[in-house]
Chain A
Amino acid sequence: MSSSINTACRSLSGSLYWTGLLAILFCLAPASSGQDGNLRVPSGAVAGQPFSISTSGSGSATFYLLGPSLALKRDVQLGQEISLTAKQIQSAGRYVATLCTDTCSSAAFFVQAGKPSNLTFLVHPSRAPVGQPDTISGVAFPFDEFGNLIFSPATVQFQLASKESNLGSHSVQTHNGVAWFRTSSGKSAGAVQVSASLNDVIARRVVQQVASDPCRLHIKAQRTAKGIEVETEPVRDCAGNPVPDGTVVTFTAKNGDQISTVDAPVKQDIARARISAKGPMVISAASGVVMGNELRVGAQ
């Protein structure tokens, strides 16, 4: 008992001013010996559910209750039950109930989180290149309706689905209120819906699967009156996904010791550029760190 009071004293150190005064009162009160039977606290209290604390004896007393977000004082009659409303017990955690007559007696009890009502679900990354191992990860935290993290083990179902098909699912039990998964990205670019569900609670996130680095960058060129018009064949990654519009392809034209370059963005799968240099050319293309083929274009 004395240790529970001391713990209460420690837990009160950061509370409000008047709560602090109550704490001082508890700390100064002698650890009770013959008053323990005065107070019977519940063993399986749940946040948001009303319950009662029974008292024994007769006469009036002062009741104090300290919890994670609660500090209350009430005059009570011994021998009657002390009712606590659902609103008063919304926070899960450790509570200390104290009953004072001439002396004070205390008892601590725990309030558990309620049923899952909300899943906080974080998914990373928001964009994932296709065909990358262990690139998508998600973590879920179940909370009850009052925002209490649910520590009791529960099974969270993670599911990945694209527009066309179900890409897989993972059942993971929460540990200390957390469940997580990691998986590889698929082969097709597009939006992937990632969902986490616990009982009837579900949270959904979207990961955009994007094309990976270009593969087999191939160019063709043609001389025109204004120079050389050079363009790529449709630029795709190795899984056949077209690279996003705006991806830069660098065209390089070499003529002896002279070089001309154009950074051209892909538009509708194709990047185009005009190179105004004259004479025979060797033209190549690159996108990021990927090189394409080389073309030889004769003089005009």
Chain B
Amino acid sequence: MKRALPIVIVLIAVTVVLIFLGITFGRSSGTVGIASGSALPGFSEHASTPEQALSNFLQDVQRRNWDRAFASVERTSDTLTQQAFIQEWIGTNGGLRSFSNLEKYEARPLHATDSEAQMRVRMQWTTPVGPVDDVRDFKLAHRGDQWKVVWDHTPPPDVPAQVVPVNYLRWDLVSGTASDEWGSHNVDSPHVRIVSMNAVDSAEGAVVMGEVVNEDTIPAFVNVNATLVDGSGNAIDDESSFDKILHVLLPKQVSPYRIDFPKVSLGKVKNVRMDVKATLVPASSDPVIGVMNQKLEQDAQGRSVLRGDLLNQSGQTVNIPHVIASFYDNNGKVVWVSDGYVQQALLPQATQPFAVEVPKSVAGKVQNFHVVVNQYSLQKS
């Protein structure tokens, strides 16, 4: 015990010195005007600048230190409760945000005066479907000797209590028994056809995209595969559409698909072999999701995006809506397929905004677009 005590004292002293150095010099290598997230755990600097205030706030959010994060904001509405504030960050109803973590952020000042400032923050979330970027503008106000984040409360959609009759079709599957005579109870796979295909080079590699239609009268689980073949007939790479397709296609439904071949140039490709696989699955035509007010426009960062609102016309919560959009040129050819996950759950009879990006290289060619919505509901999985 007598020997251990000096060692403990030395360790504590070294830790305190390191903490002090971290606080004092830790931010010195950052770009001027850009706040990015990292500080010693449990410590926040005094919010003497808007950047510092926002950084402190986002660090608290990142660490889920909700008491302090909520205490540090200036509320514009008395109706904002801490619970509502937390739910806005961590999501509700099994939405994608409920399974996400704020990985990092990058804040840039848009404008600032002595009394108020506006910052644009690019937040990167880790989610089960991969990293998701979110850009959000924050308003900050100078109060006393410190800056505070002004929090505008976005109330959740106010949907009146109602009964929504669900009377859409559902398809179930009955498998034959092993004792059935061979060939007596066959049910063919759904008939699905690729109606268009286009291969382009992108910054990340080759991309094969197009549209597929279920020509049958029953639902189909669809996957599109493509193999790139070189001049001598050898396969260069083969990939599938993975999540860039509406997998369950109802009768006569059309879905875009996109197959990415990272680090492959189309210059080496002589031929593309396409293969669509369709299997019979149980399915339901509910919920119906409308895609309203779709419009191509520039976002705050100058990128071309397709924005719109998803409207859940059914009585069922869609936990994770997934938007897939195909973009056409003036000849009706598919020139790009984009997709994006909506982070908040889509409640019955409610709307939820979405935005998917269109690359600069194709934005000028786009004349038309078509959006489909993939829906993941926890009660179904």
Contacts and interface: CB of A to CB of B under 8 A. Distances in A.
Contacts of B292: 260, 275-277
A246 B171 contact: yes
A267 B288 contact: no
Interface in A121-154: 121-127
B290 interface: yes
A246 B213 CA distance: 15
A259 B294 contact: yes
A211 interface: yes
Given A259-B295, A276-B290, A127 B167 contact: no
Interface stretch (B6-14, B178-186, B256-264): B178-186
A246 B169 contact: yes
A265 interface: yes
A247 B217 contact: yes
A288 B215 CA distance: 7
B213 to A, nearest CB: 5
A126 B293 contact: no
B269 interface: no
A294 interface: no
A274 B311 CA distance: 10
A288 B211 CA distance: 11
Contacts of A261: 290-291, 294, 370-371
Interface string A272-287: 0111110000000001
A246 B251 CA distance: 7
Interface in B95-134: none
A273 B290 contact: yes
Interface string A93-125: 000000000000000000000000000111111
A263 B288 contact: yes
A264 interface: yes
Interface in B349-376: 369-372
Contacts of B182: 120
Given A246-B250, A276-B311, A288-B215, A260 B291 contact: yes
Nearest to A122: B183
Listed residue (A120, A260, A267, A290) with the most chain B CB atoms within 10 angstroms of its CB:
A260
A245 B169 contact: yes
Given A250-B254, A263-B372, A274 B313 contact: yes
A248 interface: yes
Interface string A187-211: 0000000000000000001000011
B169 A262 contact: no
B296 interface: yes
Given A260-B290, A260-B294, A127 B188 contact: yes
A211 B217 contact: yes
Contacts of A122: 183, 186
Listed residue (A122, A211, A247, A264) with the most chain B CB atoms within 10 angstroms of its CB:
A247
Q: Say whether chain A's binding surface is mostly helix, strand, loop, or mixed.
A: strand
Interface residues of B, number: 41
Given A247-B217, A259-B369, A265 B169 contact: yes
Given A127-B218, A288-B215, A257 B296 contact: yes
A265 B250 contact: yes
Contacts of B187: 126
B168 interface: yes
Interface in B291-325: 291-296, 308, 311, 313
A277 B251 CA distance: 26
A83 interface: no
Interface string B136-159: 000000000000000000000000
A96 to B, nearest CB: 32
A16 interface: no
Contact of B195 (A210, A244, A257, A289): A289
Contacts of A290: 252
Given A127-B218, A262-B291, A205 B254 contact: no
A126 B285 contact: no
Listed residue (B182, B217, B250) with the most chain A CB atoms within 10 angstroms of its CB:
B217
B253 interface: yes
Interface of A: 120-127, 205, 210-211, 213-214, 243-250, 257-265, 267, 273-277, 287-290
23 contacts: A123-B186, A243-B252, A246-B168, A246-B171, A246-B217, A246-B251, A247-B252, A248-B250, A248-B253, A258-B293, A258-B294, A260-B292, A262-B290, A263-B253, A265-B250, A265-B288, A267-B168, A276-B292, A277-B293, A288-B253, A288-B254, A289-B254, A290-B252
